[in-house]
Amino acid sequence: MVARNVTQINAKLEDHQVDYQPLMVELEGKISDHPVSILIDPGASLSYVIPIIVYICDLKSLKFKKPWLVQLATSAKRRLCAKVEGCEIKLAEQ
């Protein structure tokens, strides 16, 4: 298990400047018996998986009528076009 800080993010909320520096935890695990690296952000409200993992693990996805635009902890923005339900994640045993 590895814990690391991501680059500091400056955000403006309700005209107040705030600094946000989450602690991210990286774990090894499996989805559908395929090894994956899992990043855990305690400040996140949703979970995300990249499309290649959806394909490799043969996960069923449901397309949105309209894509969502989300901002990640690294301040990168991503467009989400679908969701995956019932994805079981197994964490590696230590």
d(CA 46, CA 57): 20
Task: Give the pLDDT confidence of 36-60 residue by residue, as tens digits.
Answer: 988 887 777 778 888 899 999 999 9
State the chain's mean pLDDT as an integer: 76
Q: Look at residue 25 in the predicted model and tell me its pLDDT.
A: 79
The answer to whether residue 27 scores a pLDDT higher than 60 is yes
